[in-house]
């Protein structure tokens, strides 16, 4: 019986070199791969071999069965889920993360916690946050929203003299969440927290905007009649990249009790550019903040950051009682500050990229993406086939088809996008904006160039002519 594990260990260098060859071949082709999924009709069923086949043969099977269908979502024409690519330095850090295989829970056995704290310090500097904001890495914006809202839930309980982490949400009256345009992940987080999706109170936005009307928000707060609640503000909405007035919202706390959570998954990166930095004025005043790293920071999945001014409350929620994990509640003891016990050293890829490219490097990425989005928005606005539904504020745009005999349906949009992907290898996503089925595009990848946008626009135009 072959011992594949021992054989692979003995030939690890050769196996890793072969893997490097495969990685380099993919990166060399990623610009030309379709950014959307192109799948075979079906996959044959697989079974688990008793003795295995060894890593070398496993790689060959992977290449035959899966590799041809790996999308180019890491490439320059993926304009879907506000996803960046991976900078060269971030890729280095991510590979070493797997090699080092550190459990970044915050124990004294590894420097992992210090590296994460150092990376969070770099990020605070990038986003203009004070040292009052403690942070941690989590898996994505959904989990960062979960953490921020969980701390806010604990704060509301504290105002009522209830420890929700100990006694549960049933010990409290219903909690309310006020927001103008909350991301879908906020609803998911509220469901997981036991607060419930129906706790969201939709607050009116400014005319033809996704930014909340601060006067309407104050009216909604008055209606709470002094009951503490959660307010979710946005820096960069999904459809139109709109920004709430954070400073004006924060000032309402002088008259009304609420926890201010800011969902800045990708919009917080406005801080990188002098041209856009004003859009996040007041971010440091938030009680908790969400930022996604695998968006505009351009590091591999999965990585995001949450920041909060209330680490003691955070520890009340996430403290782990196992003696072997240690009981000290410190900023670097992440086992007591995040939902996970075991934690991948996600911070390493971000540390590499931030250290390699610095403030000016990220300013260049942000400004390039915004400039390209503006160009595409100008083409769409001038084309008779389309209607640009909102101004292009940063790196995203939202548009639909010009009026025809019949109203545009979501099926129309999805069929159109499938043809665009097949034609030009460009991936965009459908949406609903102000009740209108529409198309949205987000440009967040450091690889994306003007040539990619010209290619994308040509595919959009060709598809429109065929559809027309």
Find the mean pLDDT for residues 328-355: 92
Q: Which of 109-118, 200-209, 326-335 has the lowest mean pLDDT?
A: 326-335
Task: Provide, rounded to the nearest whole percent, the portion of the chain with pLDDT above 70.
Answer: 98
Closest CA to 234 of 245, 219, 250: 245
Residue 259 has pLDDT above 90, yes or no: yes
pLDDT of 49 reads 87
Closest CA to 242 of 192, 183, 329, 301: 183
Indicate the average pLDDT of the chain. 94
Between helix 450-467 and helix 347-382 the angle, nearest 10°, is 50
CATH number of the 89-353 domain: 3.40.640.10
Find the mean pLDDT for residues 432-457: 96
Rounded to whole angstroms, how far apart are CA atoms 93 and 348? 5
pLDDT of 198 reads 97
pLDDT of 297 reads 97
| 178-214 core/surface letters (b: 16 or more CB in 10 A; e: else) | bbbbbbebbbebbeebebeeebbbebebbeebbbbbb
Give per-residue pLDDT as tens, 277-324. Answer: 999 999 999 999 999 999 999 999 999 999 999 999 999 999 987 766
Q: Is the dihedral of CA 195, 198, 203, 208 positive or negative?
A: positive
Chain-centroid distance of CA 438 in Å reads 21
Strands of the sheet containing 134-138, edge to edge, are 134-138, 304-308, 288-292, 258-263, 229-234, 177-179, 200-202
Find the mean pLDDT for residues 124-139: 97
Residue 226's region, left for phi above 0, alpha for psi from -120 to 50, else beta, is left
Q: Is the dihedral of CA 97, 102, 104, 107 positive or negative?
A: negative
Give per-residue pLDDT as tens, 370-392. Answer: 999 999 999 999 999 999 999 99
* Location of structure tokens 């953490």: 147
Prediction pTM value:
0.95
pLDDT of 236 reads 96
Residue 1 has pLDDT above 70, yes or no: no
Q: How many CB atoms lie within 10 A of CB 403?
A: 9
Find the mean pLDDT for residues 249-268: 97
Rounded to whole angstroms, how far apart are CA atoms 259 and 278? 23
Rounded to whole angstroms, how far apart are CA atoms 273 and 292? 17
Q: What is the dihedral of CA 221, 226, 229, 235, to 10 degrees?
A: 40
Q: Which of 36-40, 45-49, 151-155 has the lowest mean pLDDT?
A: 36-40
């Amino acid at each position: 019986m072959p011992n594949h594990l021992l054989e692979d260990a003995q030939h690890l260098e050769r196996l890793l070199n072969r893997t490097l060859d495969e990685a380099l071949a993919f990166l060399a082709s990623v610009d030309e791969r379709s950014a959307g999924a192109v799948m075979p009709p079906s996959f044959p069923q697989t079974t688990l071999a008793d003795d295995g086949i060894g890593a070398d043969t496993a790689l060959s099977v992977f290449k035959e069965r899966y590799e041809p269908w790996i999308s180019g979502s890491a490439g320059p024409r993926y304009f879907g889920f506000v996803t960046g690519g991976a900078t060269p330095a971030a890729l280095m850090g991510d590979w070493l993360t797997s090699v080092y295989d550190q459990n970044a829970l915050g124990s004294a056995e590894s420097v992992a916690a210090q590296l994460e704290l150092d990376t969070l310090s770099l990020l605070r500097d990038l986003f203009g946050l004070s040292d009052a904001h403690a942070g941690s890495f989590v898996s994505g914006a959904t989990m960062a929203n979960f953490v921020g809202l969980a701390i806010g839930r604990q704060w509301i309980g504290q105002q009522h003299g209830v420890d929700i982490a100990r006694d549960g949400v049933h010990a409290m009256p219903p909690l309310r969440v006020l927001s103008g345009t909350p991301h879908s992940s906020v609803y998911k987080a509220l469901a997981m927290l036991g607060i419930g999706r129906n706790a969201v109170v939709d607050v009116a936005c400014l005319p033809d905007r996704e930014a909340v009307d601060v006067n309407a928000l104050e009216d909604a707060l008055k209606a709470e009649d002094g009951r503490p609640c959660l307010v979710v503000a946005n820096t960069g909405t999904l459809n139109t990249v709109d920004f709430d007035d954070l400073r004006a919202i924060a000032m309402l706390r002088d008259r009304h009790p609420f926890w201010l959570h800011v969902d800045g998954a990708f919009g917080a990166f406005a801080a990188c550019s002098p041209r856009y930095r004003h859009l996040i004025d007041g971010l440091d005043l938030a009680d908790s903040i969400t930022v996604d790293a695998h968006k505009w920071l351009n590091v591999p999945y999965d990585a995001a950051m949450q920041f909060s001014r209330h680490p003691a409350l955070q520890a009340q929620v996430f403290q782990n009682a196992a003696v072997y994990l240690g009981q000290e509640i410190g900023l670097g003891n992440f086992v007591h500050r995040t939902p996970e016990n075991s934690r991948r050293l996600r911070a390493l890829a971000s540390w590499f990229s931030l250290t390699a490219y610095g403030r000016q490097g990220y300013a260049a990425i942000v400004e390039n993406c915004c400039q390209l989005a503006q160009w595409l928005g100008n083409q769409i606005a001038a084309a008779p086939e389309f209607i640009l539904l909102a101004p292009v504020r940063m790196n995203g745009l939202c548009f639909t088809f010009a009026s025809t005999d019949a109203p545009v349906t979501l099926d129309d949009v999805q069929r159109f996008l499938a043809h665009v992907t097949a034609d030009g290898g460009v991936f965009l996503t459908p949406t609903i904006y102000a009740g209108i089925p529409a198309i949205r595009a987000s440009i967040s990848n450091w690889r994306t160039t003007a040539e990619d946008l010209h290619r994308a626009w040509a595919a959009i135009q060709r598809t429109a002519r065929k559809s027309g």
